[in-house]
Amino acid sequence: MPSAKEVDPTIFFIITFSLFYGIMFGDAGHGIIFMIFGIIGILAKGLKKNVRYMFILVFIIGLSSFIMGALVFGEAFGFQIKEDLLGIDEHSTILSWYPILDPIRDLEYIFKLTLFIGAIHIILGLSIRIINQIKHREFEELIKETGAQVFLYAAILYFLGSLDIMSFGIKPENFDPVVFTENFAIFGLISVAIGVGLALFGQGIASVIIKRKRKNILRNFFSGIGMGIMNLLETFSSFISNTISYGRMLAMLIAHVVFLSVINTLAILAGGGTSYGIIWQLLIIIIGNIFVLVLEGLLVFVQTLRLHFYEFFSKFYEGSGIQHKPIFIFNKEMDMSKYGI
């Protein structure tokens, strides 16, 4: 649990967990199944509170999967809603904007978009860390560690954008890395300079400004250079890997689409024009979708947790709080009226 002066990340976790799960498991049909299963668990009688909370979570991730699948990816049980279910030709002017993103045709853009979402997630974690350090009056760590990481991460984002690895909400055909580099080169250089300066000399700056150590200023100023170099190397390596790690959202989305495509293809081949063809098709589709719901649903759940545990909570969360459990001197079921209380 968060400590008394630590920001409770629950509300952020609910939003981002649902979003990430919906991106990786973006299927309108499976989302409806999750929502139905969640509602059944929520309305069931005799369940413990924690179990009921899990069914609420199932409903929420089902809703997110449905929204992403129906509105963004246009997928339901592996079929394209526009072409396969509605029968609209892909070249037709009807619903020409739909789907917003195609998991197959827009791979490059979705990958860059997932990195952009990951960058926002990491920035959110750093922002919460700044708030926590201000609350705990940890100004020295704020200057020499968090402050340096913020500016260095801004430089890393510039670097990834200049290499056309990350798209800042711009589709590839409209994204010119040369123009981006020219417009933001000064921003990148300033971010690197400030970040490196705070990492190397942040401890000395904090000792002079915060601790007011006026004696031996030069020694205090250069005392943290050794540790600063280590922090620099760690920041560059960890933050780049943290950002790239969000690309796993695209990997899970592709796996979902491929799994269902294989299942649907097998079902079509199993038809074969025989009298029992429809029965075989239904069996393959039902068993295949159950397999995807159970196996991939669990994999996506684990990957979403991993993104939060390593890339998000590691930036700020300590979890040193202790739950308040009041002590009852008397049995709660005891009738206190007998004792005049």
Backbone angles phi, psi at 75, to 5 degrees: -120, 145
- The pLDDT of residue 120 is 94
d(CA 302, CA 167): 26
d(CA 283, CA 102): 28
pTM of the predicted model as reported, rounded to 2 decimal places: 0.84
Backbone angles phi, psi at 120, to 5 degrees: -60, -40
List beta partners, residue 264.
none
Which alpha helices (DSSP H) does 163-224 contain, by range? 177-209, 217-222
- Is 328 strand, coil or helix? coil
Listed as ranges, residues in the chain with pLDDT below 70 are 167-184, 208, 210-224, 271-275, 328-341
- The pLDDT of residue 172 is 47
Alpha-carbon torsion, ordered 7, 9, 12, 17, to 10 deg: 170
Contact status, residue 78 vs residue 263, Cβ threshold 8 Å: yes
Alpha-carbon torsion, ordered 206, 210, 211, 213, to 10 deg: 70
Cα Rg of the chain (Å, integer): 26
Q: Which residues contact 73 (CB under 8 A, 6 or more apart)?
A: 26, 27, 99, 100, 101, 102, 103, 253
- The pLDDT of residue 311 is 92
In which residue are the tokens 């700020």 written?
Answer: 316
Burial of 226 per CB tally in 10 Å (0-12, 13-18, 19+): exposed
- Single out the residue of 136, 133, 135 nearest to residue 144, CA to CA: 133
d(CA 194, CA 152): 8
pLDDT tens for 192-226 read 888 888 888 777 777 767 666 656 666 666 666 77
d(CA 91, CA 79): 17
CB atoms near residue 265 (< 10 Å): 12
- The pLDDT of residue 103 is 87
d(CA 195, CA 232): 9
pLDDT tens for 92-114 read 778 788 888 888 888 888 998 99
